[in-house]
Structure 1
């Protein structure tokens, strides 16, 4: 098998590197006969840290053909790592492992309270069973995903239950991701010291310093939450409309404040179509993050958070190569010169 080679300015630092794919690991040791695939600006692969592939509509069962097609859309966009904080079912063994799909971290099916979340999706244990269910899931896959709140009149998962979840999940070496779009649910998630807060709409900004101090990351799914704001504002006032307009309307400012407070921000797209993480990068920058940090939230920062090192010897052999520095021109993200995944060529522009 031909060894692949790339060279150029490696982000985030921009130092010049010459890398060879020794199987699924990078090396700087020259390999005679290696094929120079591309040179330019090197990114250690994009990351979508909040995506739910495998089902076309909420409540649909997991479908393997849909799952693979969704994952191919990610790869075509330069995504080499995903995190799925919630899936429509337990994925097949090839998920995250086959050479043509991104590396994947997942939390299995969602865990919600009775009467909440989409019908047909997730598990709904009683409060006294919920911590053990979450810990068992994290022991299998490394993550458990909880729906801390749902409807605008629903009670969130109680703080004592959520705190016990975090204790038991951490005891098995796992992490806890929590969905929240209500102030009370977000406050409980932060107080319980969860590992990542998903969406975080309506979160009180004065909790951001605590999140930064304790290492709770925020995946704001900014574009997914704000994309329909203009349409919602045109509707008559109602409790649900006002909740959404007020919460999503403050979300850009929340993201900017989180970045300023030092919270780890992760880029995630949440919904169909897949392969749109570049839209989230643009949304982060529009909210006030620097282009460097906005791109990092969908690449080196997210990879580090998920345990994947960047473009160094011994790291997984993932790279996306661009003609120009994508931090100065986000349009580069749509036209990569080459994508290498697991040391194999996934895409090369003619």
Structure 2
């Protein structure tokens, strides 16, 4: 909370503070910290003219690890103005880092570097087989060309996103193709995220050793220990799958409806089992509106994931997985501050008292 405040007032955007200082109990360990922003790096050494802007429970920012900002609906092109609005909503709710495993177009030069908007990791456009995925989004390629296409993308941005399966009845990518993709991408120092919502696609992704499984609906729980052993993360997008299943309950019966409802019913228990097995969980919201990563944390907890693990999936765990350290000297100067332990007050999680991004106070308590 802002120094001197005692509640959770409305938020306002601010950049008037010249040098930011924060202090409080830092998660994940709960140790006391007193940090100064020296440019875009935290330091414990006092910095001249620093202003204490927030004190309370401190996280190294929230992370939405599966978000597709900048397009109004599937298949529509990237809109730069909308992209800025979407990212602004993320920042308002404490998100200082996003991963976009799939974008509707080439992002502008300011993407991930604008001082008021979250840092960003992205995988460029989705890569799919012919005849699958949303029309007018992503690239379609043959099995033979897919490894080279994915490696070229990952060499540019660090990630490639591959659609391993799509609608019921569609053929999933063969495991040997995914293995070749992983080998090619890893050879250029990149990582592979794979969309899968079918058992066969999930099994192929795990067998191929992909870096992250996105959604993972219908994933065989017997594969969870292997995922943990090889470091394959799971981004379950549980809140959006739960929401979609609620809407489907009022629709007519069909094979696709039964597939979706069956997968959704099993997804929460699968995610809880993944956490118990030691799989790295990443919190992602997947769909509009943006700035709802707190909903994903609450969905994880409702499914049986411990609050500490669920919050880590949207903060320090995800940040570490994506290559950024937490609240330590020399780390990028990002933080989100709450007046109380957010693990005990999940209802307040999307109303931070202060947000610091790149050493600047971009969100603070009003009044």
TM-score (normalised: structure 1): 0.99
Given the alignment, which residue of 14, 18, 21 partners 2:34? 18
- 2:65 corresponds, among 36, 49, 59, to 49
Would you say 1:310 and 2:326 are equivalent positions? yes
Runs of 4+ in 1 over 4 A off after TM superposition: none
| d(CA) in 2 for partners of 1:230, 1:101 | 32
Structure 2 partner of 1:301: 317
1:263 equivalent in alignment to 2:264: no
Residue 134 of structure 1 is matched in structure 2 by 150
SS of equivalent to 2:57: strand
Query: Partner residue of 1:276?
Result: 292
How far 1:31 sits from its partner (Å)? 1.4
State the alpha-carbon separation in 2 of the partners of residues 84 and 185 from structure 1: 21
- Residue 232 of structure 1 and its aligned partner are, at CA, apart by 2.0
Give runs of aligned pairs for residues 1-350 of structure 1, distance below 5 A.
Answer: 2-350=18-366
Q: Following TM superposition, by how much is the alpha carbon of 1:229 offset from its aligned partner in structure 2, in angstroms?
A: 2.1
In structure 2, the residue corresponding to 1:81 is in which secondary structure?
Answer: strand
Give the SS at the match of 1:87.
coil
Confirm or deny: 8 A CA contact 1:50 1:221 kept in the other structure: yes
- 1:228 is paired with a residue of what secondary structure? helix
- Displacement after TM superposition at 1:268 (Å): 0.0
Task: Give the CA RMSD over aligned residues.
Answer: 0.9
Distance in 1 (CA, whole Å) between partners of 2:48 and 2:246 is 57
| Paired residues of 1:323 and 1:332 also in contact (CA < 8 A) | no
In structure 2, the gaps of 5 or more residues are 1-16
Work out which structure has the larger RCO, using CA pairs closer than 8 Å and 6 or more positions apart in sequence.
2
Deviations 1:158-214 (A, max 9, x none): 111110000000000000000000111001000000000000000011010110010
SS for the counterpart of 2:128 is coil
TM-score by length of 2: 0.94
Q: State the secondary structure of the residue aligned to 2:161.
A: strand
SS in 1 for 2:139: coil
Secondary structure (helix, strand or coil) at the match of 1:227 reads helix
